[in-house]
Structure 1
Amino acid sequence: QALPAPDDDAYARTAYEAPQGAVETALAQIWAELLGLERVGRHDNFFELGGHSLLAVQLMERLRRLSLGVEVRTLFARPVLCDLAASLGSHDEVAVPANLITEHSTAITPQMLPLIELAQPEIDRIVATVPGGVGNIQDIYGLSPLQDGILFHHLLATKGDPYLLVSQMAFAERGLLERYLGAVQQVVDRHDILRTAFVWEGLSSPAQVVWRRAPLEVTEVELDACDGSGAEELRRRFDPRQYRIDLGRAPLMRVVIAREPGSGRWLLLELLHHLIGDHTTLEIMHAEVRAVLERRAHELAAPQPFRNLVAQARLGGDAKAHEEFFQEQLADIDEPTLPFGLSQVHGDGSGVGEAHRMLPQALNDRLRAQARRLGVSLASLCHL
């Protein structure tokens, strides 16, 4: 933060040439707004101007609003403005099938679930897990590929949960805490994903179930510590290395509250499962909670149904082609390939050590050159 803001000359630019035509002009204006630049030329490169993957997602959304559909991978393949502009509109958006479950539905049949294939006994098994039965079910659909992977790791862990996110807060008095919890419930009521539970036992494929009503689960505990370490005691008691939550009960967010010993403050610990959110989700939630508390809830934009994303993921790609690709790549592997002997790690993770090393400059340069050649981030290259 102490560094000066980069001036216009700091960016990797080509000789400026004005955008040509309506599409290039619109695209240049969006880039300028997202990247905080005065002007963008038709030969400029999105990533060399400071663009990154999160901004790329925002760019896709802005283009979608203008009915200029494009896949995010096209941006990585064609990051130069004039090249990308020539590709805009070539991507057909997946038509999201309508949700056929209504508030008046008295039964749910396989024909009512276009985003998952389930037999009637499987649907009945799901209905039995939801408080209030059919009347409290807004939707049922499959998991996105990313959610599939997260659920796999949740089931693989026999103790604790590697995908439970923890955040903590403190409130001057109980009344403020109650107002905050009321605002959180309003945000949960707004968003489908925050009212979603997961069912997999006895099913041919895992399902996510959107409840119409999902009351926030708040647990009050007493703290032992009298030395001001109440927040640390809360974190220790609900450490994800030992603690799990029931994924079958929405919302996949648990709140623990406690009066801080020796003071009038109230402490709050919030557990959010990565199946329904990430750091960006938390930022959006907190912004909406603030809006509710400041009586600005009417200013919030209409929430986007999560089923739209599931439809894009499940209907927009050729799953069979993906399976064939990986079967070909991994055909000769016949045993688990967890890295670094991770299958042999036991305990709560407290024995894990971390080491930090600087890469030699030559290796660093080679890795970055390889990432650029493949059109992916260095993080993706290292993960894979």
Structure 2
Amino acid sequence: MLPLVSLSQREIDKVCDTVPGGLANISDIYPLTAMQKGLVFQHQLSAKEDPYLFELPLSFNSQASLDRFLTALNQLVARHDVLRTVFVLEDLFEQVQVVLKQNEIELKNLNSQVSLAPDLAQGPLIQLFVSDDPVDNKIRGKLICHHVIIDYVGQNILLSELLQLLRQIELPDQVIPFRDVVWLEEHTDKQRAETYFRERLGSVSHGTVPYDVVVSNVEKNQLHHESYQICQEITERIRSWCRENSVIPAAYFHTVFGLMLARLTHQHQVVFGTVLSGRGVVGSSTVDTIGPMINTLPLMLDLENVAPAQLVKNVADELGHLSDFSRFSLKDAQALSGVEKGTPLFTALFNYRQGASQTVFANAMSQHGVELLSGAQDEFNNFPITVIVDDDPDATFTLSAITHSDVPVSSVITYVKTLAEALIGNLSPHDANQSRVDNGEE
């Protein structure tokens, strides 16, 4: 009946009593993934506001365009089980997520005092708030999605499918259920993963803590953002070198981030979190599946006496190995390091995101009376330093730094852009005869 989770009769009754519609409205029950457990933990810690909400401001030119948008949105809720999922977190031996048969989105008033944060136990965890704008006679809206059911790639899939439905294009019949991703994590070779992380992190005795800033619980109002767009010439040079050396651009920018941390901490051996995608590990069809398939894992880089080109290739190899364990728990990986218990292994996060920017969807949706406004919020975590690289294949690389108020965001973005533009100048066919990469030690 429930192959992925073991529940007593008391616990089953608790689940049925908690979710909307009870037993008759339950389609499936399974455990949380490692990433979902982390998000739920941070959600429960946050007393003031839920830190893991994706907020997309919208504008509709008429009631008809709003109605069409809402209809399409509910079609996707019916199509993707994860958009009908709620969470039972209390009075169970193991927290579970419950797929409901029905959990339609209803419009909510943006001007009311109702919290934007959805109830994880009731759902839906994707909501649409609207209000009239008397200034331009349009309807203002805000699409809210909780990261416990959707990641950055999933957001773009959602927008893409919404656009297809607005264009009256029929979507493919087959949708891979999120339970397949859960099943894969439950059957991860944990012993092999433990061996890998013990070998990579066991000798690390000091955490990588730039600016000596350690924060246990970050609030949104403590964060500062700054972005920078790499010019077309540098972008083309980076892409060209990566193609010629059979290296993905993600490896290039991971190297840049590692070099920055080395300079800030004066360490030749650095560790930082990297956001990995679990898409495609179940099969090619999961690439277009909505759901939280990302995971954060520690990446250790040794920068001592390594020529620039070789360093980038080493990083590419490390990313390849790490991707084999993309479903492993961050908590378990960190526990295998040599860092003293209670002290952080790393406090900086790197996120390389590939795909079309939302500008593409904005231009297309405007033809259907829907405007995607600026000010979307889709990135939040508890790390004092986060650097994001957005790689739009049809545009240049965009760098973004998000830092805690105790960390100078301007310095971080300056470090990253300077190193990103300088590293490509150190890469050439004669690299082996060049000086080694500066690891930041003085």
**Amino acid paired to 1:248:** A
Matched, 1:307 2:182: no
Asked if 2 retains the 8 angstrom alpha-carbon contact of 1:147 and 1:275, the reply is yes
SS of residue matched to 2:145: strand
Aligned to 1:318: 189
Matched, 1:162 2:35: no
Matched, 1:186 2:130: no
Matched, 1:132 2:21: yes
Aligned to 1:343: 215
Query: How many angstroms does 1:126 deviate by?
Result: 0.8
SS of residue matched to 1:343: coil
Matched, 1:372 2:316: yes
User: Per chain length, whose mean CA-contact separation is higher, i.e. which structure has more relative contact order (CA < 8 Å, sep 6+)?
Assistant: 2
Unaligned runs of 5+ in 1: 1-111, 224-236
Query: How many angstroms does 1:245 deviate by?
Result: 2.5
- Counterparts of 1:348 and 1:213 in 2: how far apart (Å)? 33
Aligned to 1:146: 35
- Counterparts of 1:323 and 1:373 in 2: how far apart (Å)? 18
Aligned to 1:245: 118
Q: CA RMSD in A?
A: 4.1
TM (norm. structure 2) is 0.49
After superposition, the C-alpha distances for 1:87-127 in whole angstroms (9 at most, x for unaligned) are: xxxxxxxxxxxxxxxxxxxxxxxxx1110122221111111
Larger Rg: 1
Alignment length (residue pairs): 253
Matched, 1:195 2:103: no
- Compared with structure 1, are the counterparts of its residues 377 and 319 closer, same or farther at alpha carbon in structure 2 (3 Å cutoff)? closer
Asked if 1 retains the 8 angstrom alpha-carbon contact of 2:110 and 2:141, the reply is no
**Amino acid paired to 1:170:** S
**Amino acid paired to 1:160:** E
Query: How many angstroms does 1:252 deviate by?
Result: 0.8
Asked if 1 retains the 8 angstrom alpha-carbon contact of 2:51 and 2:220, the reply is no
**Amino acid paired to 2:147:** H
- Compared with structure 1, are the counterparts of its residues 265 and 248 closer, same or farther at alpha carbon in structure 2 (3 Å cutoff)? same
Equivalent residue in structure 2 for 1:277, among 146, 150, 166: 150
Asked if 2 retains the 8 angstrom alpha-carbon contact of 1:367 and 1:378, the reply is no
- Counterparts of 1:203 and 1:324 in 2: how far apart (Å)? 31
Query: How many angstroms does 1:184 deviate by?
Result: 0.5
After superposition, the C-alpha distances for 1:290-342 in whole angstroms (9 at most, x for unaligned) are: 33333333x43321111111111112x13466578879999999xx9998544
Asked if 1 retains the 8 angstrom alpha-carbon contact of 2:107 and 2:129, the reply is yes
- Counterparts of 1:187 and 1:287 in 2: how far apart (Å)? 11
The share of aligned pairs that are identical, in percent, is: 31
- Counterparts of 1:295 and 1:355 in 2: how far apart (Å)? 36
Instruction: Trace 1:34-49 onto structure 2 (pairs within 5 A).
Output: none
Q: When you count strand as a share of all residues, which structure comes out higher?
A: 2
- Counterparts of 1:355 and 1:267 in 2: how far apart (Å)? 27
**Amino acid paired to 1:312:** L
- Counterparts of 1:115 and 1:213 in 2: how far apart (Å)? 22
Aligned to 1:177: 66
TM (norm. structure 1) is 0.55
- Counterparts of 2:130 and 2:226 in 1: how far apart (Å)? 32
- Compared with structure 1, are the counterparts of its residues 153 and 174 closer, same or farther at alpha carbon in structure 2 (3 Å cutoff)? same
Query: How many angstroms does 1:137 deviate by?
Result: 0.1
